[in-house]
Structure 1
Amino acid sequence: MAAFHLSQHPHAGADPRRLLHRLTVASLLSVLCFSMVYLLTGCRESELADNFDIKPPARDFPASGSGWAHEGNGTGAVRESRDRAGMESNSSGKEWTATRRLPQALIIGVKKGGTRALLEFLRLHPDIRALGSEPHFFDRHYARGLDWYRSMMPKALDGQIVMEKTPRYFVTVDTPARVHAMSQDVKLIVVVRDPVTRAISDYTQIISKTPDIPPFETLAFKNRTTGQIDSLWSPLWIGLYAQHMERWLAWFPRSQIHLVNGERLISDPAGELGKVQDFLGLQRIVTDKHFYFNKTKGFPCLKKPEGSSKPHCLGKTKGRTHVSIDKEVLQKLRDFYKPHNQRFYQLAGQDFGWQ
């Protein structure tokens, strides 16, 4: 019976082997497909991980709207910008970190000394954020409070110095105490120039607005015959630098007050700006490459910044031709200021050489 069964079904013994072969092939195919799916899935997950890697937004560090290209390894904004090189920029990143803060530095004077020029030159620095207008907070609007004052300031990033300029601060009696109440560490900058030249410049500005006022010689003297100077007339009173300086020194150490030579700000703007940048603890980014001397106006202007078609000079109100003053009057004014200047040199620790 067994022999008959085998003769009738010659391939019956091969069926288990065929089935085993098919099972083996199927298993190998399953392993191969599983491996391919695993590899593809793993690559995709890696790709997704790369695509969704969350990076901090790159910060935008504008040069206070100046349009200048800055060089060197700067501090604060410049250094951080370079540290984050290659990262995608995020236009809203600046808004996440920029805040309005009370100023860390003030240009407090003096009127017609060169404060506007100094402010415009300093605004080239990427680590300085300066208010363009004069807020007159400490002399006129103090009752509005520090919150109002802060709201006037430009937004600034960490590492940037916020500053403003109001020349009237230097001569206003209550201002030193008020500034001290805001900050004992604030840095103060005063631009001074020959008080006789400053007074004439001040008068020249006044007469451009009110041409009917009396002549300079009439206003400068209480009695022209006796030669008694009217030291309370504002253009002359502002030039009593020692008197005003003593009031500030009663509240702040000399090390927190930087004096800018107004004459040298014209003849060597880069040199004076370098000292100011040192005083503020900043790298000297604003240098002589930024300036040229405008012979028509008689003072330095800024060379053409990137994105601008022409150089930048201060407005028409700057560089006016001074009114002509009698030489005898000039000499009387120099004699009047001489002891005041000597006292100021002692307080300042330097001789400005005014004759």
Structure 2
Amino acid sequence: MGCSGVLFHSLLFFFQQSRVVSVLCTMLLVVTYCLYCLTGLCDSAPRTLIYVNNNHHHHHQHQLDDIIATRDYDDGSVPVEDGGRNDNNNNRRVLFDELLVRAPPPSPSRLLQAAHRKWNQTDAIVTHTAGDSGGGGGGGALSSTQVDDAAARGGAGHHTVDPQQQWGGGPPSSSMPVANTFGTKKFPQAIIIGVKKGGTRALLEFLRIHPDVRAVGAEPHFFDRFYDKGLEWYRSLMPRTLEGQITMEKTPSYFVTKETPQRVGALHPRPAKLIVVVRDPVTRALSDYAQTLSKNPGLPSFQSLALKNSSSSATDDDGPAVDAAWSAVRIGLYAKHLENWLRHFPLSRFLFVSGERLVTDPAGEMGRVQDFLGLKRVVSDKHFYFNRTKGFPCLKKPEGSSRPRCLGKSKGRPHPRIPRHVLQRLRDFYRPHNLRFYQMTGHDFGWD
């Protein structure tokens, strides 16, 4: 073999070794890059914050605090079929799927702590007072006044949680990579002001389907509990809205709070629309009592709270008089409460929604609401189905979600059995008040 042969074999050997070295170097680089990314040090890939749906023309970024605030529910319930307190993580995941947010969610521990604070707040109101007034180990029964005092103390400070504090307070943590600089926070243009146990939660959830509605989920209670915090605090609770969208909030106790109409009337700009969801006052009182009873099983009977002691002077020829001082009864005096509001707002500013029709014909009643708010009729029959188990309509499964949306287990509680003569006594009591309400509103709700 000549020199050329030796040179040829030498070059071949060199190229073979170089190829092996190249492959090894490439593999080393790939492994290093993978380890680098797994440790969280790599941020070279862009992150999509918001999924864009081409079938909609409204695509908005939401601050994480807005997302959480707009999914706080009465009694800690979650509007997902069979959702509830023991399914928090799954429901939170559905929440993010529904809002189409792909940014990393907050830590589960923070969400659970916030939810527990809310649940403890609502569960402790009446039970705490019952313990104080029971005299250690089961004492005397609570009167209707004591029951109302329990709720009032819970609302006025003992167990009420500031809507900002209950979700951690202040601005979002800098560790959460969700930013929102779109839109502005405005005072609400429409407020659902009542009534408790009338169907306000269902109405708000149905309205949220509409792309032009942005609403606070947690009840702010600004005009009846937190008025001293000031208007800027109130505005800070509102979600951001774009041009053409309306901001809404709901607090059912506004309708029955004496000071609220004047305070709402002093807001500038004034809310253009006020919505009141009303329901047969007898049925509403039973639902109110059932909710309180679920939190305090030692509560006196409905009859003993609704009717004054027959041995007292507060009787008439038909038997014991109805105790209108008990809040469950007092809330149903709709004409009296409306009179207070009409001193500050014209009747044209109000829409009275039938809580019964919201169950039997949700699409029809939602059509009236959308017309009143000046919105295009987007929410329609196609969004609802009737859940026979729960006894009320639910929202059909939204795109991207694994389950349909129903109000939580705390909604649709069975009512206790009440003697017929007690119910008839209440109906006789409410009849003249109902007729007056029909005349004031120009609408016969058919409760009599």
Aligned-pair CA distance for 1:178: 0.3
In the other structure, the counterpart of 2:375 is 282
Partner of 1:200: 286
Secondary structure of residue in 1 paired with 2:335: helix
Structure of higher CA gyration radius: 1
Aligned residues: 275
Match of 2:363 in 1: 270
Question: Identity of aligned pairs, percent?
Answer: 63
Instruction: Summarize the alignment of residues 324-343 of structure 1 with structure 2, pairs less than 5 Å apart.
Output: 324-343=417-436
Q: Which residue of 2 aligns with 1:114?
A: 199
Kindly indicate whether residue 260 of structure 2 is the aligned counterpart of residue 144 of structure 1: no
Q: Specify every segment of 5 or more residues in structure 2 that has no aligned partner in the other structure, as ranges.
A: 1-56, 68-94, 101-178, 312-318
- Structure 1 counterpart of 2:308, which letter? K
Question: Are 2:301 and 1:218 aligned?
Answer: no
Q: Is the 8 A contact 2:335 2:433 kept in 1?
A: yes
Give the 3-state SS of the residue equivalent to 2:341 in structure 1.
helix
Match of 2:336 among 216, 234, 243: 243
> 1:184, CA displacement in angstroms?
3.2
Q: Distance in 1 between matches of 2:410 and 2:271?
A: 34
Check the 8 A contact 1:61/1:126 in 2, yes or no.
no
Measured at CA, do residues 234 and 196 of structure 1 come closer, stay the same or move farther in structure 2, by a change above 3 Å?
same
Contact 2:188/2:271 (<8 A) preserved: no
Residue 397 of structure 2: aligned partner: 304
Q: CA deviation at 1:97?
A: 3.5
Q: Which runs of 5+ in 1 are unaligned?
A: 1-57, 70-93
Q: Aligned runs of 1:99-138 on 2, under 5 Å?
A: 99-138=184-223
Alpha-carbon distance in structure 2 between the residues aligned to 1:119 and 1:185: 17
Aligned-pair RMSD on alpha carbons?
2.1
In the TM superposition, residue 213 of structure 1 has moved relative to its aligned partner by 1.1
SS in 1 for 2:332: coil
In 2: Cα distance, 1:156 partner to 1:185 partner: 16
SS at match of 1:188: strand
Partner letter of residue 343 of structure 2?
Answer: A
Aligned-partner Cα distance in 2 for 1:332–1:95: 55
SS at the partner of 1:229? coil
Q: Determine the structure 1 residue equivalent to 2:12.
A: none
User: What displacement does 1:312 show?
Assistant: 0.4
SS of 2:210 mapped into structure 1: coil
Q: TM-score, normalised by structure 2?
A: 0.59
Q: In 2, are the aligned partners of 1:97 and 1:158 still within 8 Å (CA)?
A: no
CA contact (8 A) 2:182 2:240 kept: no
Conserved 8 A contact 1:223-1:229: no
Q: Aligned with 1:162: secondary structure?
A: strand
In 2: Cα distance, 1:174 partner to 1:155 partner: 28
- Is the 2:208–2:214 contact (alpha carbons within 8 Å) kept by the matching residues of 1? yes
Aligned-partner Cα distance in 1 for 2:421–2:415: 17
- The AA in structure 2 aligned to 1:344 is F
**SS in structure 2 opposite 1:332?**
helix
Q: Which whole-Å CA distance do the structure 1 matches of 2:378 and 2:415 have between them?
A: 33
Inter-CA distance 223–176: structure 2 relative to 1 (3 Å threshold) = same
Report the secondary structure of 1:102's partner residue: coil
1 CA distance for matches of 2:400 and 2:346? 42
CA displacement at 1:223 relative to structure 2: 2.4
